[in-house]
Structure 1
Amino acid sequence: MSKSLSPETLAKYNVKWGPIGEPVYKRSYSRTKEDGSKEIWPETVVRAVDGNIGLVDKKFIESDEREKLIDLLLEFAAIPAGRHLYASGVKGRQFLFNCHAAGWDPKAPWDHFGFLFDELMQGGGVGSNYSNRYMQSLPPIQKSIDLHVVCRPDHPNIAEFQDLLCKVTQGDVKSHSDVLKVPDTREGWVEAVEHILKAAWSGSDSSESRIVIDVSGIRARGELLKTSGGIACGPGPLVSMLHDFTKQLNGCIGRTLTSLDAMVLDHALASCVIAGGKRRSSRMSVKSWKDSDIFEFINCKRQDGAHWSTNISVEVDDEFISAYNSGDEHAKSVMRAVTLGKRSNGEPGLWNRSLAMKDERDPELMFCPNPCGEIGLQMWENCNLGHINLQHFASKPNREAAEAFRLMTRWLIRATFGDIPQPRQREVVDRNRRIGVGFFGYHGWLAIRGFKYSEAYKEASIQNTLNMFKTTVQNEAREYSGQMNIPCPVKNTTLAPTGTIVLMPGVSASGQAVIYRHFKRLVRYADTDPELEVKRKEGYKVFKDDDARNTQIVEYWCEDPLVSVLKAKGLDAEELVECQDEIKLEDSLGTQRMIQEFYADNAISFTINMGEDKMPTEDVMERAFVDALPYIKGTTFFPEKSRKNAPYQKLSKAEWDAYTGRKETIQVEDECKTGCPVR
């Protein structure tokens, strides 16, 4: 196919979409072209490939590399992270990195907040470490902020935030001489936040600082953002956030920020980004088990509405494991609190910093995991991810999959030359060149080869094959970086969630098992939606939603695509395909440990989903996690709790076979519970 790449050929290419692959692609990765039409998948592939290989001199591109990459992406055999698909090849805006680490600088403490706000507004996820060893290094807040927000009276959106304007002058711009005029840019919003913070940390004698911020220049809500392709939100979210932010800051006068102080400030910034139109703001917050206020952190999300923009994980280390096993009361209390939280709502997670430091060139600089946990990062560093579809290669020689791993390694090393506006991040990327080559479709790869998920991690052939893929990546990383005379990537392999990109080919996510073999999918529609009558005529069951007014539910009976694939191959899908709630805790942890040992030198994002009927006792669960900690860099547990009209409901084989209505082949659209950015 790639030998002839004319527009006519691309338009005729038969894309092998998964059941819901095309709509997922259109909403997530298809860009609007200059003529106003939307890209089709082959056009996205060519743009992304050409953008990537254009980041380095042509002498560093193999003669057939472009064609090989186009073929791999067209077939969904290899897919870089969604950010690459969306941003690669976009001139001046090749922001190719999904996630970032917001560090701390005692000499410029405002940089943490400005960096986090900036990256969230660009659609990235941001992790940070709020341990006391970082918080106590910051200077105390010196001044109270007297905030005055002003705006021209004819701004189209002024009614939305009139009550928050300066009470003395009623927001009259002309009544103030010393004013910060917020430019109508992302950088302008960051400047407004940093302006307040710099005043609060100012060392002058005055106990109060008067800040006047003019939002007149921010375009009205609904206007097109030509550079990013988004829609403007107006000044309202910024004005509201600045008031909440300042109020929290003023409560910290005369002392250093605590962990929760800083997290509340970061949450205000994340909430502003979501109110401004981003679908989500993905964050990760970690804190050391040693801190005296660790239990406040563990319980911080129990209050309704608190800290919903972040995942939380407790930072543990070799000392923690030793202390726990020696009967240390603090360590045991922390582990029990973590276990109870996991059983209740899945949080907090655990992050093993000692293991994350292993094989780092500068181990003491290891700072925090990214929001999904698959990459340990230094301050200001980013994630750079790409993935191989193992299921695509299940019936092919391992050497073909190995070549895909090799080519993705080269892709990600080139991506380190992408656009990085932040000088701090550019410096650490140039030094580390960290990449994360991962995979998805693991369950299908196993099943097609005749292995059950719960047993495969013990198989030497599986271990050896994954280790061969790892060695392929490491060797190519060493060779390719040497050719370009740049540092070899500090680490190379990982396992990311891949929850959205896997929907395009319709295979299982990451290294996870499928969620259900057969299930009911309940989709809500407004009473007035004309699609309801269409669904009735097509034979679907439609019923009233008792929990939502003016809403009805359409019931779809679905089979996971892997089950259909195996049946088409004459294999026993019921025997080979175990779903997540059927896998024991020890087998899930065993799978994670095996992949960490034989494949991933970064970390693994792995969520253990467990039904209430399979939940072990508190003591058994706690012991299982402690025993696994020396071998895994982090883990997440999520309790599956039944509730009325849940969007996905498991079906037994008997129920599926007995049902005579319409049936679909479709997978659970498992949006990452950790909230990773889609692109």
Structure 2
Amino acid sequence: MKKPVTIHTRRLTIGLGKAVAKRTILRAGEDWTEVAKRVAKGNSSLIPARLKKHRLAEYKLLKKHIANATILMSGRHLQHGDATQPTRNMEVFTNCSTASASFIVFYLLLNGSGVGRAYDDDMCLVNWDHMSVVRCVLDDKHPDFVWGEDESVKEARHKYAKAYWFVVPDSREGWAQAIEKIEVMAYEKKYKDDLLVLDFSKVRPKGSPIGGMQDRPASGPKPLMRAIQKVTTVKNAGMPSWKQAMFVDHYLAECVLVGGARRAARIATKVWTDPDIFDFIDLKQGGFLWSANDSVAVDDKFWQQKAKHAKRVLDAVLHASYHHDTGEPGLFNQHRFVQNDTGFDGYRDGKYAISNKYQPGKKTTRMLSHLARNAGSKVYMQIPNPCGEITLNMLGGYCVIADVVPYHAPDFASALEAFRAATRALIRVNTMDSLYNREVSRTNRIGVSMTGIHEFGWNAFGYSFRDLINEEKSKDFWLTLAAFKRAVVDEAEKYSRFLGLVTPHTNTTIKPAGTTSKLFGLSEGAHLPAMREYIRWVQFINGDPLVAKYKKEGYPVRELKSYHGTTVVGFPTQPEICRLGMNGELVTAGEATPEEQFKWLMLLEKYWIVGIDESGNPLPDTGNQVSYTLKYKKDKVNFRHFKAMMKKYYSQVKCASVMPQQELTAYEYQPEEAVTIGDFMKTLNEITGELDEDIDLEVLKCDTGACPI
């Protein structure tokens, strides 16, 4: 390295970092040191009790690296990690997953996991036209029962002489079982004219605390009851099965969003060879089915562009992506995803989705067996998670991910130690009970990621973005990343052997890292900083006493005209990278050309995702993907340029989101407003005190735009 790494005292960034931590991570009375202790305790407790010395050593090491922020476990770990972790289900600690049936999609969303699903014709087996006649009922003594709106249990018992009844348990598992009943009865095609009554009387009322979710208020039974009524509208709507499934999953995702569990992040994929692919490409035009990002699965045959169908699909995708202004549908190169089918044939028994907490019924197992047979007949079975950074079996799998921040490491040895410690921590997570126990045991898949990469490149090597994409000039930087990759590979093999597990099929990635990077003001994952200094405008309801406090302390405040009853408060924000003395060499996302960004992606895949040995030869590919949103300006990139660029570069990377940069300056409210350094300092100087800042939760939801691929 050309320059020694600066040792930083690790504190949450004043303003933005503290606001994000308060919103998403910190429990009552906690600071960052206590978060490190809590999360390290939970993860190290996954080590068997017989390995007492190892457990203690790992606790101390993990606590040290989290406290110093050289390791940032994903936000799910930072939120939920504590001494109870060994007793909880793995889904709570996974960022994303995949699913092959609607009830599983719903169950995973309820657990806070983002979900990907393949809507290929042969993976959508349920014809929802065969759905039963479904009625949702509620005891008239339930606090959420509304006379004249809800059907009571008493009335239903009196009215329906012959019906299948299911009392919905008050749990995530119970809600998923209700959907399972509907879906499997439709799959069997025997109950189309029969009545299925779902009794929600046991579901706790709205506002009741939810244990295991920091006592957040329950939504009550109404969101699911309304969602099921929407699901019934797909029956006899004249849609093919794959399209029915997309609407069903959308209605269920809406339910999760309304219930407040999380944003219900999803990705919907469809293989390019399906006859209905053109309908899929245009499906979201007009704002429909907004809860999922849509992407087309392509392969090497597609990119040869010899078949007329392949040419038509590429033209349609590129036209929609550019002219609909959304970047959708995206593309992903299925043939480049790591796929290891060892042990997969066993899934044909249909028992690949079962855990201590959730056991599908016997009839369900037959449906899942049918799905497994169809998946097994495919050449490519891997699809990405919603943010694109992990390759997962389309039947089911999980993202188990964490960031290492080499920028925060005092030296190369400390950085290596952090990469190895993060590798071990993620492998331990894979020993937890989960719905996909078999797939987790078969693959032991993990994703060790990095964030603050641009800060590391400048601080340790003196390289700006444009230096980094000059491979020869910045070779020492890239060889350092390759050394980190080899350390992850080596540790994954050794530690898995130590615990008696298979070696992880994949081990490195770069995730979006939007929330965790904000804790310390870092550039997010592989992304360039979106802007230099800026004002974060946060919405408050008019009359909120906090507004008066902020105004008194000198923060900029303005009442919005186009958002009635809303006032915004401005918080001046300066990313960490702006404080490193780059003297004009800093490149923001909007300043890098698409071609430069593709080159950056290809180098990251070469040295970190795939890796090279000490002689410079590629390693066997054990990498996942880089989650990256490549933005371009339509006033500089016309459609002809865009089309040529995609044809030239996209086949050379595993995946990426390519989308136009939105022009927001015409809007009265912008969550983030770029300002000059002069205006930034002026605003800062007018603030006389320091109050706890806030942040809109909406801004934390894939604000880098890294989700749609």
**Local SS of the residue matching 1:220:** coil
The corresponding residue for 2:263 is 280
Shift of 1:439: 0.5
The aligned counterpart of 1:226 is 211
* Cα deviation 1:583-611 (Å, max 9, x = unaligned): 11111111111111111111110012334
Residue in structure 1 matched with residue 327 of structure 2 by the alignment: 346
Give the match for residue 414 of structure 1.
Answer: 428
Q: Distance in 1 between matches of 2:35 and 2:253?
A: 30
RMSD of aligned residue pairs (Cα, Å): 2.9
Q: Secondary structure at the match of 2:337?
A: helix
> How many Å apart are 1:22 and its aligned residue?
2.7
Alpha-carbon distance between aligned partners in 2 of 1:195 and 1:62, rounded to the nearest angstrom: 43
The residue that corresponds to 1:606 in the other structure is 628
Indicate conservation of the 8 Å contact 2:401/2:448, yes or no. Answer: yes
Residue-by-residue CA offset, 1:445-469 (whole Å, 9 max, x unaligned): 1222321113303221222111111
Which amino acid in the other structure matches residue 16 of structure 1?
A: R
State the distance in 2 between where 1:274 and 1:139 align: 25
SS at match of 2:267: strand
Inter-partner Cα distance in structure 1 for 2:388 and 2:704: 9
Trace 1:79-478 onto structure 2 (pairs within 5 A): 79-88=72-81, 89-91=83-85, 92-95=87-90, 96-103=93-100, 112-135=101-124, 138=125, 140-141=127-128, 143-159=130-146, 162-163=148-149, 165=151, 171-176=155-160, 178=163, 179-204=165-190, 207-228=192-213, 229-251=215-237, 257-304=240-287, 306-323=288-305, 329-341=311-323, 344-357=325-338, 364=379, 366-378=381-393, 379-393=395-409, 396-420=410-434, 422=435, 425-448=436-459, 449-457=461-469, 458=471, 459-478=474-493
Note the residue ranges of structure 2 that are not aligned, 5 or more in a row. Answer: 1-8, 345-377, 610-622
Q: Name the counterpart of 1:649.
A: 673
Q: CA deviation at 1:670?
A: 5.6
Q: Structure 1: any 5+ residue segments left out of the alignment? A: 1-13, 32-36, 104-111
Q: Deviations over 1:372-400 (max 9, x none)?
A: 0001101211111011012213xx43232
Counterpart amino acid of residue 535 in structure 2: K
- Tell me if structure 1 keeps the 8 A contact 2:126–2:183: no
Structure 1 match to 2:371: none
Cα distance, 1:163 vs structure 2: 3.1
Offset of residue 156 of structure 1: 1.4
In structure 2, what is the Cα distance between the partners aligned to 1:185 and 1:52? 25
- Paired AA for residue 44 in structure 1: V
Quote the offset at 1:47 in angstroms.
2.5
Question: 2 CA distance for matches of 1:26 and 1:654?
Answer: 30
Q: Is the 8 A contact 1:339 1:621 kept in 2?
A: no
In structure 1, the residue matched to 2:43 is 52
| 1:311 CA displacement | 1.0
Which amino acid in the other structure matches residue 59 of structure 2? R
C-alpha contact (below 8 Å) 1:447/1:577 kept by paired residues: no
Residue 154 of structure 1 aligns to which amino acid in structure 2?
A: K
Partner of 2:538: 523
What CA distance in whole angstroms lies between the structure 1 residues aligned with 2:97 and 2:309?
37
Contact 2:317–2:329 under 8 Å retained in 1:
no
| Residue 534 of structure 1, CA deviation | 2.6
Where does residue 71 of structure 1 map in the other structure?
64
Distance in 2 (alpha carbons) for counterparts of 1:74 and 1:174? 62
AA aligned opposite 2:568: I
Q: Distance in 2 between matches of 1:553 and 1:377?
A: 41
- CA distance, structure 2, for counterparts of residue 311 and residue 331 of structure 1: 18
**AA aligned opposite 1:82:** G
Q: Does the 8 Å contact 2:36/2:64 carry over to 1? A: no
**Which runs of structure 2 are paired with 1:519-598 in the superposition (5 Å)?**
519-564=534-579, 566=580, 571=581, 573-598=582-607
Residue-by-residue CA offset, 1:278-332 (whole Å, 9 max, x unaligned): 231010111122222222212222223x211111111111111111799963244
Call closer, same or farther: CA 1:453–1:151 in 2, change over 3 Å: same
Task: Report the counterpart of residue 362 of structure 2 in structure 1.
Answer: none
Question: Displacement, 1:509?
Answer: 1.0
Give 1:18's aligned residue: 13
Q: Distance in 1 between matches of 2:36 and 2:148?
A: 47
Aligned to 1:8: none
1:521–1:647 contact (8 Å) kept in structure 2? yes
Deviates more, 1:49-58 or 1:240-249: 49-58
Within 2, Cα distance between the matches of 1:94 and 1:327? 44
Deviation, structure 1 residue 153:
1.4
**Residue in 2 aligned with 1:622?**
643
Question: In the alignment, residue 84 of structure 2 is paired with which amino acid?
Answer: V
1:419 shift after superposition? 2.5
Distance (Å, rounded) in 2 between the aligned partners of 1:357 and 1:416: 19
Report the CA distance between 1:636 and its aligned residue: 0.6
Asked if 1:484 corresponds to 2:499, the answer is: yes
SS, match of residue 509 in structure 2: coil
User: Could you say if the C-alpha distance between residues 533 and 30 of structure 1 is closer, same or farther in structure 2, counting changes exceeding 3 Å?
Assistant: closer
In structure 2, the residue matched to 1:635 is 656
- Write the distance in 2 (CA, Å) between the matches of 1:409 and 1:263: 36
**TM-score of the aligned structures, taking structure 2 as reference length:** 0.82
Give yes or no for contact 1:284–1:370 (8 Å, CA) kept in 2: yes
Verify: 1:500 aligned to 2:515, yes or no.
yes
Q: Deviations over 1:488-545 (max 9, x none)?
A: 0001000000111112222111111111112233233322122333333333333331
- 1:310-355, CA deviations, whole angstroms, 9 ceiling, x for partnerless residues? 11111111111111799963244234335425x7122222111000
Q: CA deviation at 1:629?
A: 2.5
Contact 1:151 1:171 in 2 (8 A): no
Q: Secondary structure at the match of 2:305?
A: helix
CA distance in 1, matches of 2:148, 2:480: 63
Could you list the per-position Cα deviations for residues 177-226 of structure 1 after superposition, in whole angstroms to 9, with x for gaps in the alignment?
A: 6421111121211121121222223344x651111121112111001122
CA gap of 1:289–1:158, structure 2 versus 1, over 3 A, is same
Instruction: Judge conservation of contact 1:369–1:375 (CA < 8 Å) in 2.
Output: yes
Query: How many Å separate the matches in 2 of 1:86 and 1:662?
Result: 35
Mapped to 2, the partners of 1:321 and 1:592 lie a distance apart of 19
Q: Is the 8 A contact 2:103 2:183 kept in 1?
A: no
Residue 42 of structure 1 and its aligned partner are, at CA, apart by: 2.7
3-state SS of 2:398 partner: coil
The count of aligned residue pairs is 628
Query: 1:599 is paired with a residue of what secondary structure?
Result: helix
1:119-167, Cα deviation, whole Å (9 max, x unpaired): 10011110011122423xx2645735222222221221112x853538x
Deviations 1:557-604 (A, max 9, x none): 43323212x1xxxx3x34232111111111111111111111111111
Partner of 1:381: helix, strand, or coil?
Answer: strand
Structure 1 residues 536 and 45 mapped into 2: Cα distance closer, same or farther (>3 Å)? closer
Alpha-carbon distance in structure 2 between the residues aligned to 1:515 and 1:22? 20
Whether 1:42 aligns to 2:33 is: yes
Tell me, in whole angstroms, the C-alpha distance in 2 between the residues paired with 1:286 and 1:632: 18
* CA positional deviation for 1:403: 1.4
